Structure 1
């Protein structure tokens, strides 16, 4: 599926940078490892938060998504190339590098969020469609982590050039995608926002999306630095460790998405969220590389249980004319989660150590699950078609 390929390319490009992010920030002039890596990753996701809603609202207003996916992918490609070239050519300060990183994120999120929305526009079970999105996300991250580690062995800027090239490919693929955005008369933005206002229950999948992406952000920064400093792994080995989480997360997305169409969203979301935080803590408590590797696989499996069902809830609970804004809202909360995982995890690790960071991340996820699960269990199955299976 071409749409899934676009999602795959965008996520692959993004994750290529993670395994050696400490090497990359050093190459562009940073003087610290953990702090500089935290701000470099956070800059992109702060831009995701700020601009995802604008891309979604614009697509709903225009009634077209594919041209915006192309524009976002090309803009993101230019951003990656600029990160590779401008720091040396213009002697940019690290603050300037962060500004370029934010611009790259502001455009990339358009390609990511709207390609996800186009999957929502397809006919068929929402769980199936979101399972396809999930497996594209998971495969992109699963391949990106070990591949990025290898590319860093060729030089700190090589992953940036590779990421820029991937987004050019994503833009080319998007040119061939027919638009299936629902068409209707009137103000699409007003109707989309009204949908969100009238269906506050959308806050439920948004909350679980926050939890899901919190872990991804946490591992992108804290996990990377933890494996490199705590176990003495190089960028390539660190990429393999990250891949142990993302590989099962990718391979199990589609079957669990289809399963949620049959049995409803409640069981996968509840089961996944209840175990997620404990699995994260297990990684931090692992005394050796092999035990940490097993724990990473467990985190990936648990994430695959809940992720497609959570994304499918957005489809279940949003009106056709407001899907772009609804999915943008989900991506905003997901990006906030990723950003929180980076900032909270990085700050705690810097101040109190890695074990404290893993305990904090796990506790936050468990707390959010405990607060949210009662609302999910009380939901009226008649209020969302897929809940009853």
Structure 2
């Protein structure tokens, strides 16, 4: 039954990321269609960065404010899968509303941003709790988080090129497809079984977990910086590829896919590797290499070499991601995992917001080069600074707490 649940929950994680990333290759076109462009836009890069920044920020504000609440609610009630289904279906309603409302009535852009925020509130519930339910399964934390990472990577890998092509059919088409996918997995999620302890806990007690488990600050810090790079590529990378390398949304999607495909395919084997060799080496060495390859993307002189650099970014990112999520599982007990993973996603979403806002600000006011250097070197710094804290975590060498890898 674990394999079936793993597949179902992986499908939910895939769908949320697929829907999210569908929009990225054509964000400039979408915000114009939603009437977000200021008067006198005229293709100005600064204006594009500003308009796209607020559209992406609204969703991740919902992520930041509510990821922990979804997790605490699941820990308090002892139920996860009904909340996963509800989050997916409500997220689909949000995407559909974004597509339909501006075509039926005149909607101020502020209202669009509110809908985008509510869509983020819903989808982070489905995403975070699907991963949390994966944490509850048998078979090894690295294996289960590798499955989550594989789903994340596949969603982003497929979403980028597909989204780029869908924009060719119209700026609202990716929104309709995102809604349909989330409606489908919302129904599928009801098939998965809950593996919580079954004990309900007071909501306050669940939230207090984050204060007691201060060691969670280590994976939270890595999650923050790792998602910062994702937010950076979602907006600044997209605008850079289009304005400096001359790519259209379709080409941008393919170049983003050069990162996401190896990032997806290597998540599961690298997650299992971390079960065998421990978390320290994949997290620390992977983060160091990840930061350096991000800087290398900017200095790639042509589109093909930039594609090669993006592949290397994907490989090194895949080494870090599942091991970092597995650390959360290692450090949290079974009835604390919802709020622990919710906290991880809060920090990750804050990182994504920082990548969007900070990256756009540096790129707009200084240069793209400064923005790439800032983001890449942030990953290098966290790798160096956090090594003593990683080594100080009270974990067995395998990071498994005695779980059986063969199940």
TM-score (norm 1): 0.97
Query: Following TM superposition, by how much is the alpha carbon of 1:34 offset from its aligned partner in structure 2, in angstroms?
Result: 1.2
* 2:250 maps to 1:250: no
Aligned residue among 204, 212, 231 for 1:198: 212
Distance 2:401 2:82 in 1: 34
| Matching residue of 1:19 | 25
The answer (yes or no) to whether the contact 1:80–1:104 under 8 Å persists in 2 is yes
Over the aligned positions, Cα root-mean-square deviation in angstroms equals 1.6
| Matching residue of 1:174 | 189
1:318-337 equivalence runs, <5 A: 318-337=332-351
Query: Following TM superposition, by how much is the alpha carbon of 1:385 offset from its aligned partner in structure 2, in angstroms?
Result: 4.3
* 2:94 maps to 1:79: yes
* 2:214 maps to 1:214: no
1:262-277 equivalence runs, <5 A: 262-277=276-291
Distance 1:194 1:165 in 2: 37
Name the CA shift for 1:282/1:247 in 2 (closer, same or farther; >3 Å): same
Name the CA shift for 1:168/1:388 in 2 (closer, same or farther; >3 Å): closer
Query: Following TM superposition, by how much is the alpha carbon of 1:179 offset from its aligned partner in structure 2, in angstroms?
Result: 1.3
Number of residues paired by the alignment? 388
| Matching residue of 1:149 | 164
The answer (yes or no) to whether the contact 2:276–2:398 under 8 Å persists in 1 is no
Residue-by-residue CA offset, 1:143-201 (whole Å, 9 max, x unaligned): 0000000000000000000000010011011121111122236x343443343222201
Query: Following TM superposition, by how much is the alpha carbon of 1:92 offset from its aligned partner in structure 2, in angstroms?
Result: 1.4
| Matching residue of 2:44 | none
Secondary structure of the 1:33 match is helix
Aligned residue among 357, 366, 370 for 1:356: 370
* Unmatched runs of 5 consecutive residues or more in structure 1: none
Distance 2:129 2:395 in 1: 28
The answer (yes or no) to whether the contact 1:152–1:235 under 8 Å persists in 2 is yes
Aligned residue among 46, 62, 65 for 1:50: 65
Residue-by-residue CA offset, 1:45-66 (whole Å, 9 max, x unaligned): 1110001011111111111111
Distance 2:132 2:311 in 1: 29
TM-score (norm 2): 0.92
The answer (yes or no) to whether the contact 1:25–1:40 under 8 Å persists in 2 is yes
| Matching residue of 2:312 | 298
1:71-110 equivalence runs, <5 A: 71-110=86-125
Distance 1:257 1:382 in 2: 16
| Matching residue of 1:234 | 248
The answer (yes or no) to whether the contact 2:330–2:395 under 8 Å persists in 1 is no
Name the CA shift for 1:383/1:54 in 2 (closer, same or farther; >3 Å): farther
